[in-house]
Amino acid sequence: MGDMIRPWVLFVFLAALVSASASSGMAGSTKVTHSITRILVLGDSLTEGYGVAKEEAFPALLEQELRRTGHAEVQVINGGIGGSTSASGVSRLKWHLRARPELIVIALGANDGLRGLSLGETRRNLAAVIELARRQELKILLAAMKLPPNYGKEYSRGFHRIYEDLARDHLLPWVPFLLEGVGGEPSMNLEDGIHPNEKGHRKIAATLKKHLEPLL
């Protein structure tokens, strides 16, 4: 009777051993992975960092600040091209989609205003960028621009109203003025009075960080 039991005891022991080994192997192969959150800043020379080093432009500074304050897996893509207008927004966003961003900061339109382009055209172009970003299921932060007072009150008010209307109509979070505390401040800008210096870029990064964190 005892000799008949031993094979079963051996079988149970081997089965338990195999099960434990498999569980150990699965635990050993399990890795905790962290996905990178990519933020695309789609803009012009302000975003590109005209007149300052690339690492001093606000997209790079924004990434540093976000990582420093607990968002270690964030990558900010500098999608700025000097001289660009809102007309290029859709084609450029399509190109940047290859990087698989999850969030986009739309910082376009300044050159439209400085060139006195049609307000209706600028609105349509920005709306098209928003709609494409929505189709791609990107989170969106709209960064508004303002014009110097010498462009005329009516045109300047109408220009800024574009961003107000788009934010309302598309239910978007927005930055009322990307250059808040920078525009018109000599100490924050290069000699041309238009493009931010290193200090100005730090201020822009701080402004964007405040509006971006709730979206991360």
Which pTM value belongs to this model? 0.84
Tens-digit pLDDT profile for residues 96-126: 999 999 999 999 999 999 999 999 999 999 9
Q: For the chain, what is the radius of gyration of the CA atoms? A: 26
Structure-token pair, residue 181: 């505390």
**Average pLDDT value for the chain:** 88
Beta strands in 81-179 (DSSP E): 103-107, 139-143, 174-175
**At which residue do the structure tokens 């376009």 appear?**
108
Q: Sign of the C-alpha dihedral, residues 199, 141, 90, 38?
A: positive
Of 18 and 97, more confident: 97
170 noted as active-site residue: no
Predicted confidence (pLDDT) at residue 24 exceeds the cutoff of 90: no
Q: Is 50 exceeded by the pLDDT of residue 200?
A: yes
Q: Which of 44, 84, 195, 201 is catalytic?
A: 195
Given the residues 3, 29, 34, 192, select the one marked as catalytic: 192
The pair of three-digit structure tokens given for residue 74, joined into one six-digit string: 């964030």
Q: Is the pLDDT of residue 82 over 80?
A: yes
Report the pLDDT value the prediction gives residue 149, as an integer from 0 to 100: 83
160 tagged catalytic: no
Superfamily of domain 37-215: SGNH hydrolase (3.40.50.1110)
Q: Which of 45, 84, 86, 88 is catalytic?
A: 45
Residue 160 scores a pLDDT above 80: yes
Per-residue pLDDT, 35: 84
Helices H, strands E: what count in the chain?
Answer: 8, 5
Residues 6+ apart with CB under 8 A from 100: 38
Catalytic residue status for 45: yes
